[in-house]
Amino acid sequence: MKKFPFEKSNQSQTPHFDEVLQQLKESKDFTCFTVGIKHDTLCISYFNTLIDTNILHRDLLPYLNKSSSTLYDAVQALPIENLLFTQKPADVQNHLLIGYISITVEGNNDQAVLVKADSQLSRTVSLPEVEFSVIGPKESLVESLDTNLHLIRKRLPIQELKVEVLTVGKLSKSRVALLHIDGICNQKNVSTVIQRISNLDVKQIIDSSYIAQMIADKKNSPFPQFIDTERPDRLAAVLGEGKLVILVDGAPHGLLGPATLVEFFTASEDYFINWTMASFFRLVRFFAVLFSILITPIYVAILTYHYELLPKNLINTLVISRSGIPFPPILEALVLELVIELLREAGARLPTKVGQTIGIVGGIVIGTASVEAGLTSNVLLIIVALSALASFTTPVYQMGNTIRLIRFPFLFMAYYIGILGVAISFCFMLIHLLRITTLGRPYLEPLYPPKLESLKDSLIRLPLTYLSKRPASKHEE
């Protein structure tokens, strides 16, 4: 990890404890008071906004041995397991900043005792909102890393579950935890991820998505390469498949990787229901995605170039719906697609209650009014609305965004050279997908390269008894 300028200067000058405390006192929420013992004066200092004052008043002050002569004796009787003895002033500073109480002897710069007393202010574990499922566990991750680790560890009470914690961010000093199960997870992946995370040179890590974006193999690809989930049960399940899980303190979402394309269409509910239904729902999702990407471009292509392709009974409907519309199909489609994006964006930015109103205004009023005004054809309105709806069927939110975005190049190509353009765009997309790797593994696995063993849990899900083997792609190499 890189050193920060102020840290460097601290170390080069090796300031005394007093100087460190003096610097910290410039903050108004820093408290420092003294307690007398036999010969010396103990200086107790902490950030009152970071610590749990209960610990100070209940567990620390009453047990301080005021009759002892040394610092060591004074803290002997403290009912706290987490006592740190340090001689480095920098250590004191760093720990004070994450909620420790330091006890030093005034005028003596040899040693300091650090007492962990950080207040655990955190949301309680609540229902998953993004990945809600009717059946199955209803816990979701919260912003506290320790709580999250607890949620996962209690599902995997084995010693092979290893947790690696790294600190990232010059300013945020975020704790990033890397979880894997020894012996199942590919060790190469673990070291790759550790390498990439520790190489990060950033100021702040606000959320786990920062990590996902920065350690991805193909950073410019619109396709997400780590699955982002708020369900601890899903994380625990994939750990057992030999994947890595990355948790970031302060982020209520965990990352899991290496992820393949088909896994983005996997909901954890798929495993809670009978395999026949789960397979059907998965196929529906894949169909929905293809539909969502292709249907508007195909509409534009056919209406602009290939009227021959229309069944004779459909021409009537389409011609009537298009009659009197002053725009070419591409403009019509683009405007409607943008309107849907506007609605989604507005709905996402507004509070829930207002968001609903926007949905009604957008969906019903704008939709019907624009058809009645003769600005758009009602057939296209149905198509665009359906394709937007279909894009929301993906269980992973980011994938839905990707699908809505890659529709636009398809649209332009469809307008430009018709169905051929759609085919060319599809080829480009396929080539891109084939080129993506996540942590060095092909993104399209197990579709390409084909892995029969992993196909059992890809486009369809076979009964759980068939899935006892780990997917072939995650075997240790």
Partner 1 sequence: MRIKMILLTSMMTLFLSSCMNIEPTVLNEINIATAISYDYIDKDHFTSTAVTPYYLPDKRVNNVTFTATSSLSKDVRQRMNQQTDKPIFSGKIEVVLYSKELAKHDLIRMTDTLIRDPSIGNTVYLAVVDGKAQDVLIKQFGNVDKGTYLSNAIEHNIQSGILPKTNLHLFSYAHNSEGMDPFLPIIKPKNGNPIITGVALFDQGKFVYQTKDHENIIFKMLVETSSNKEGFSAKLGENLFASVYNISSKVSYNIPEPMTNSPIMINLKVEAVLREFTGEQPDKKVIRTIEKKMEKELKQRAEKLIVKLQKLEVDPLGVGEQVRTRTRSWNKDEWKSLYPTIPFQVNVNFEILESGAVE
**Minimal distance, residue 429 CB to partner 1, in Å:** 14
Residue 329 lies near partner 1 (rule: CB under 8 A): yes
Q: Which is nearer to partner 1, 36 or 374 (CB)?
A: 374
What is the SS3 assignment for 415? helix
Tell me which of 319, 354, 369, 405 binds partner 1, using CB under 8 A: 319
Residue 320 lies near partner 1 (rule: CB under 8 A): yes
Residue 402 lies near partner 1 (rule: CB under 8 A): no
Tell me which of 12, 67, 120, 313 binds partner 1, using CB under 8 A: 313
Termini Cα distance of the chain: 29
Residue 435 lies near partner 1 (rule: CB under 8 A): no
Residue 328 lies near partner 1 (rule: CB under 8 A): yes
Residue range at the interface with partner 1 (CB under 8 A); choices 232-240, 273-281, 312-320, 449-457:
312-320
R_g over Cα of the chain: 29
Tell me how far the alpha carbon of residue 334 is from its chain's centroid: 31
Rounded to whole angstroms, the Cα distance separating 225 from 246 reads: 13
**Minimal distance, residue 140 CB to partner 1, in Å:** 41
Helices (H) and strands (E) in the chain, counts: 18, 12
Residue 405 lies near partner 1 (rule: CB under 8 A): no
**Minimal distance, residue 323 CB to partner 1, in Å:** 5
Whose CA is closest to 162, among 122, 138, 194, 139? 194
Residue range at the interface with partner 1 (CB under 8 A); choices 16-24, 109-117, 223-231, 296-304:
296-304
Residue 460 lies near partner 1 (rule: CB under 8 A): no
Q: Which amino acid is at 316?
A: N
Residue 430 lies near partner 1 (rule: CB under 8 A): no
What is the SS3 assignment for 473? helix
Residue 297 lies near partner 1 (rule: CB under 8 A): no
Q: Which amino acid is at 120?
A: Q
Residue 322 lies near partner 1 (rule: CB under 8 A): yes
Residue 295 lies near partner 1 (rule: CB under 8 A): no
Q: Which amino acid is at 43?
A: C
Which positions from 244 through 263 interact with partner 1, judged by CB under 8 A?
none
Tell me which of 102, 304, 387, 473 binds partner 1, using CB under 8 A: 304
User: How big is the CA angle at 288 (ends 287 and 291), to the nearest 5 degrees?
Assistant: 85
Q: Are 99 and 47 in contact (CB under 8 A)?
A: yes
Residue range at the interface with partner 1 (CB under 8 A); choices 138-146, 259-267, 315-323, 388-396:
315-323
**Minimal distance, residue 318 CB to partner 1, in Å:** 6
Residue 438 belongs to what H/E stretch?
Answer: strand 437-438
Tell me which of 26, 312, 352, 468 binds partner 1, using CB under 8 A: 312
Tell me which of 418, 442, 446, 471 binds partner 1, using CB under 8 A: 418
Tell me which of 324, 351, 465, 468 binds partner 1, using CB under 8 A: 324
Residue range at the interface with partner 1 (CB under 8 A); choices 89-97, 264-272, 290-298, 313-321:
313-321
Q: Are 152 and 235 in contact (CB under 8 A)?
A: yes
Kindly state the tokens that stand for 143: 């912003």
**Minimal distance, residue 334 CB to partner 1, in Å:** 15
| Strand order, beta sheet including 30-36 | 30-36, 41-47, 100-105, 112-116, 83-86
Residue with tokens 């069944």: 311
Tell me which of 80, 331, 417, 455 binds partner 1, using CB under 8 A: 417
Rounded to whole angstroms, the Cα distance separating 41 from 65 reads: 12
Size of residue set near partner 1 by CB under 8 A: 26
Q: Which amino acid is at 161?
A: L
Residue 219 lies near partner 1 (rule: CB under 8 A): no
Residue 12 lies near partner 1 (rule: CB under 8 A): no
Residue range at the interface with partner 1 (CB under 8 A); choices 228-236, 321-329, 363-371, 435-443:
321-329
Q: Are 129 and 140 in contact (CB under 8 A)?
A: yes
Q: Are 207 and 250 in contact (CB under 8 A)?
A: yes
Residue range at the interface with partner 1 (CB under 8 A); choices 74-82, 205-213, 300-308, 452-460:
300-308
For residue 173, give every residue at least 6 positions away whose Cβ sits within 8 Å of its Cβ, in sequence order, or none: 97, 98, 167
Residue 296 lies near partner 1 (rule: CB under 8 A): no
Provide φ and ψ at 328, rounded to 5°: -65, 160
For residue 206, give every residue at least 6 positions away whose Cβ sits within 8 Å of its Cβ, in sequence order, or none: 172, 250, 251
User: What is the contact surface with partner 1 in residues (CB under 8 A)?
Assistant: 302-305, 307-308, 310, 312-313, 315-316, 318-320, 322-325, 328-329, 416-418, 420-421, 424
